[in-house]
Chain A
Amino acid sequence: MIYLDNAATSFPKPATVIKAVTECLQSYCANPGRSGHRLAIESARVVFEARETVAELFNVPDSRNIIFTANATMAINTVFASLLDKGDHVVVSSMEHNAVMRPLRYLEKEGTITLAFLQSDRNGKIIGDVTQALQPQTKLVVINHASNVNGIVQGIASIVSKIKAYNSSIAVLVDASQSAGVVPIDVKKIQCDFLAFTGHKALYGPQGIGGLIINTAKPLKPFIMGGTGSKSESQYQPEFLPDKFESGTLNLPGIAGLHAGIAYIKPRIDEIRNKEKAHIKKIIECIAALKHCTVYWGTDSENQIGVISFAHETLECSEIGQRLNDEYSICVRVGLHCAPLAHQTLGTYPHGTVRISVGAFTQDNEIDTLCNAIETIAKV
């Protein structure tokens, strides 16, 4: 089996991640912060150390600003629920995933917000004067850091800097679901107000763990409220971080696995990136040489993660995916990848594309097999 669906979730996971999750479940998996016994305290230590590790990875000075969530979608929804009020204007990039678009379209439909888009070229790269989309009522700009469809990476530091220079009170949320772990991210330098990440993609943790980085002093409403293990005498949500945004029992095995995943990639981040770059280059070259195929990527290998899409003139992407699966045991993802807006931008809506996404464990010979398979299938 050749797994090339790492943009959906990375697979396999490093042995150290499996060990950390297993050890947690076998040895100490109590409820962190809810009791004073040794296992609960050990569990709380694991959460603390994981939080510190995440803070270090993204250069966040105070790890209280790392909020653990179930996934990036929950982190993104937390920002919308915490920040947005009736009459607010929100600006998004044209490459957003439905994790961003669905909640925003809901708010737009119910009359809470109005929505506008940043200008982009046909590859999804944000171009032009980003401040042109801003209005006096603009409260939030959402930027997809790296696309889950064509892998393009946006120059977020420069975009955020332009937005802040125009109006420093406008908040910026970066969706780093695909980029966290493969593109260096320095929150302090970027100066975004929020960054949402997931643990199960390029951070190599298990599914069900993600996070939100809060890098703003703006007043925020709590989203999911409930027990935190702190201020138990009060029926009101604590105002301090991380408790304000972390009600309910945390996903401790997930947090332990995420910690191990980050520990795995940290010393190898350049090695993984270079390997993925080489694989993507080879895939692009082999598909671009085929007569009836079009490759969708960022067109600049320096601003590209290990994700590309392609489409065939006459063959449906679902048919290609099925044949790759049935005849070659190659796992890819076909369709719209929960990102219809991005496909509209790329001109691949509504048919979608075949998406290939490599990972830390992808082998050179697997790319050769993929190229041969696509070459055979694409001949019509």
Chain B
Amino acid sequence: MSHCVLLLPSVHDVMKAEKILLKAGCNINVIATPRELSHNCGVVIRFDCSNYNVLLSLLGEMPVEKKIFKKSDENKYEEVTQE
């Protein structure tokens, strides 16, 4: 199962997103930002990539920049372009 991570500007935004997603029943975790992505805040939201659209829809109201990265088979993170 491939996993994705959602990067948001601040810890506050991550906490808000976590609350929204957990309330909606999503299976997510807050984890330390992977080192290769550590140009943002200290924590990110990890989720199953198959929930990509659901997650973006639930967080649609949050007026902040959202970046999503998918962990590849080579153990590297690649940015997923939002449509």
Contact = CB atoms under 8 A, between A and B. Distances in A.
Interface residues of A, number: 25
A325 B67 CA distance: 61
Interface in A15-69: 32-37, 40-41, 44-45, 47-48, 51, 63-64
B4 interface: no
Of B13, B38, B42, the most chain A CB neighbours within 10 A belong to B42
A230 B16 contact: no
A36 B37 CA distance: 13
Interface stretch (A75-83, A126-134, A179-187, A231-239): A231-239
B43 A33 contact: yes
B50 interface: no
A151 to B, nearest CB: 35
B43 A44 contact: yes
A229 interface: yes
Contacts of A243: 9-10, 12
Given A230-B40, A230-B41, A231-B41, A37 B32 contact: yes
A41 B31 CA distance: 8
Contact of B15 (A36, A48, A228, A230): A48
Contact of A238 (B9, B14, B15, B30): B9
B39 A36 contact: no
Contacts of B9: 230-231, 238, 240, 243
Nearest to A228: B10
Contacts of A14: none
A226 interface: no
A43 to B, nearest CB: 10
Contacts of B40: 230-231
Interface in A66-118: none
Contact of A33 (B18, B38, B39, B42): B42
Given A48-B16, A240-B10, A232 B32 contact: no
Chain B binding surface SS class = mixed
A231 to B, nearest CB: 7
Nearest to B31: A36
B5 to A, nearest CB: 11
A242 interface: yes
Interface residues of B, number: 21
Contacts of A242: 10, 12
Interface in B17-56: 18-19, 30-33, 38-43
Contacts of B58: none
B32 A35 contact: yes
Contact of B10 (A40, A45, A230, A233): A230
B38 A44 contact: no
A230 B38 CA distance: 9
B79 to A, nearest CB: 17
Contacts of B41: 33, 229-231
Interface of B: 9-16, 18-19, 30-33, 38-43, 64
Nearest 7 pairs of A and B residues by beta carbon? A36-B32, A33-B11, A48-B15, A230-B41, A230-B10, A233-B39, A44-B11
12 contacts: A33-B11, A33-B42, A36-B33, A47-B11, A48-B19, A64-B12, A228-B10, A229-B11, A229-B41, A231-B9, A231-B40, A231-B41
Given A32-B11, A238-B10, 18 more contacts: A33-B11, A33-B41, A35-B32, A41-B30, A44-B11, A47-B15, A48-B16, A63-B12, A63-B16, A64-B12, A228-B10, A229-B11, A229-B42, A230-B11, A232-B38, A240-B64, A242-B10, A243-B10
